[in-house]
Amino acid sequence: MFGRKKQPVVDTSIAGTTPIAEAQARTTVTITGQVIRMQSRPASDLPTMVVSIKDATGTATATWTGRRSMGGIALGRHIVITGVATHTTGLLTFVNPEYQLLA
């Protein structure tokens, strides 16, 4: 499958992670960080979850379309995000990425 890393058959491996400041847009990257902000935008017909993730080098945004909440994603939780991001808003932004919850 284009760009999709096959996850190793081991629990919560964060091998292959890139610091947010170095992560390239338009190619599959894996970042890991802490959830510092969660915004649910249930504005009428366009429910969207926007989550900000911070690591030692910067902040990234993950947006999930069509959701008002994501089970298990909570402030302070560590999370691994894998996906293809844009840089258009100045911030690394993922749309509907794969995620893994860490402690």
Partner 1 sequence: MHMIIVGCGRVGSSLARQLTAEGHDVVIIDRNASAFRRLGDDYAGRTLTGIGFDRDLLIEAGITKDSAVMAVTSGDNSNILIARVAREMFGVERVVARIYDPRRAAIYERVGIATVATVAWTSKRILRTILPHQGVVDWTDPSSSYHLAERRVSASLAGHTVESTGSNIVLINRNGTAQLPTPSTLLQDSDVVHVLGTSAQLEEFDRQLAGKQGDH
Partner 2 sequence: MKIIIAGAGSVGRYMAEELSKLGHDIFILDNDAKAISRVVAGNPRVTSILGDGCEIDTLTKAGAHDADVVAAVTGDDEDNLVISLLAKQEFAVPRVVARVNYPSNEWMFNGMWGVDVSVSTPHLLTALVEEAVAVGSLVKLLSLEHGKAGLNEVTLAEGSPAIGSTIANLKLPRESAVVAVIRDGHVVVPTPDIVLNAGDEVLVLATGDVEAEISRALIGPK
Residues that bind partner 1 (CB under 8 A): 1, 6-7, 9-12, 45, 47, 64-67, 69-74, 77, 96-103
The DSSP bridge pattern shows strands 58-65 and 92-95 to be: parallel
Q: Residue 49 CB, nearest distance to partner 1 (Å)?
A: 10
Binding residue for partner 2, selected from 13, 39, 69, 86, defined by CB under 8 A: 86
Report the candidate in 20, 74, 76 with the shortest Cα–Cα distance to residue 49: 74
- Look at the alpha carbons of 7, 12, 91, 89 in this order and tell me if their dihedral is positive or negative: positive
Q: How many CB atoms lie within 10 A of CB 43?
A: 8
Distance of CA 35 to the CA centre of its chain: 9
84 contact, one of partner 2, partner 1, none, CB 5-8 Å limit per kind: partner 2
Candidates 8, 66, 71, 72: give the one binding partner 2 (CB under 8 A): 66
- Least Å distance, CB 48 to partner 1, is 10
